[in-house]
Structure 1
Amino acid sequence: METLIGLEPTSGFQQTMGYRLVEWREGYAALEMDVEPKHLNRAGVIHGGVAASLLDTVCGFSGCYCPDPARVRKAVTLSLTTQYLGQASAGTLRAVARVRGGGRKIFFCAGEVFGPDGTLIAAGEGTFRYRSGSEDAAGSPRE
């Protein structure tokens, strides 16, 4: 697992947000992100877009695990629902997601974002479509 996490290139969005992929296996992913001032809204708590972005990202990862380090799977978001249930203004957030079902080209997942004290900050469900070449669990060659 650690080897696969280390092979994932850091995207510009990941650099901007500052999240880390900390767990990844078939049907499951977990991210962590240290809350910084750039993540806060005018009220001094994490912006809803930060929570939604963490849900979107962790859900996508949960459906794109590929055990072969020479190969990769990719997906795009078709829909994402988000419910905001709590707030945080500091510490480390943890986002987790699990695949709930799907078929050859589309998968469904559910995710949650937790605050540093374990409080549920947000929950959501997403529908994702595999990009061409990623439909098979074997994925496609890394570029």
Structure 2
Amino acid sequence: MSEAEQNLHITGGKDLPGFHNMLGYRQVSWEEDKAVIALDLRPEHLNLGGVIHGGVLSSLLDIVMAEAGTHCPYPGRMRKAITLTMTTTFTGQCSAGTITVTGIKRAGGTRIFNSTGEIHDDKGNLLAIAEGTFRIRSGSEKPEGVPI
């Protein structure tokens, strides 16, 4: 499946809502216990120093780590989680190109799970790492989730 087909499968052909759409990332892959998103950097993603803003990095890590524990194989539907805790360490900077964000579910039960995440620039440099604890939202416990 091509990247464009994967995006359509995941979102059911719809744009992601609200803040997700504003960030402008795209889903590269999403499977059980692992998610990958990518972002083509634009001027609005940069801080006053001209490098990617830590808030953008943190937001992307939060999204991908939650996705790692909420895979939904049904087009146009999703499972939802809320963040309970998240720790982020910034390890590098960049101001242009494409960044790739990977989240992996590490452990969990029926409602609570833990994930880790990493962000790399298009040269393979590590920009940030994170770990988080998430809770599955009510209605999202089953694989079919809820409509987007």
Q: TM-score, normalised by structure 1?
A: 0.91
Distance 2:145 2:103 in 1: 23
Q: Which residue of 1 aligns with 2:80?
A: 74
Letter in 2 for 1:10: L
SS at 1:87's partner residue? Answer: coil
Distance 2:76 2:120 in 1: 32
Distance 2:141 2:96 in 1: 38
Q: Which residue of 2 aligns with 1:92?
A: 98
Q: Which runs of 5+ in 1 are unaligned?
A: none
Letter in 2 for 1:118: G
Tell me by how many angstroms 1:96 deviates: 0.3
> Which of structure 1's runs of 4+ aligned residues deviate more than 4 A?
none
The answer to whether 1:21 aligns with 2:8 is no
Contact 2:81–2:135, Cα closer than 8 Å, also in 1: yes
Provide closer, same or farther for how the CA distance between residues 39 and 127 of structure 1 changes in structure 2, counting only shifts above 3 A: same
Q: Which residue of 1 aligns with 2:67?
A: 61
Tell me by how many angstroms 1:71 deviates: 4.5
Distance 2:76 2:57 in 1: 31
RMSD: 1.7
Identity of aligned residues (%): 46
Distance 2:76 2:43 in 1: 37
Contact 1:105–1:135, Cα closer than 8 Å, also in 2: yes
Distance 2:108 2:82 in 1: 14
The one-character-per-residue Cα deviations of 1:99-139 (angstroms, maximum 9, x if unpaired) are 00011110100000111211000000011100002223x24
Q: Which runs of 5+ in 2 are unaligned?
A: none
Q: TM-score, normalised by structure 2?
A: 0.88
Alignment counterpart, residue 134 of structure 2, candidates 128, 133, 136: 128
Moved more, 14-23 or 116-125: 14-23
Distance 1:17 1:72 in 2: 19
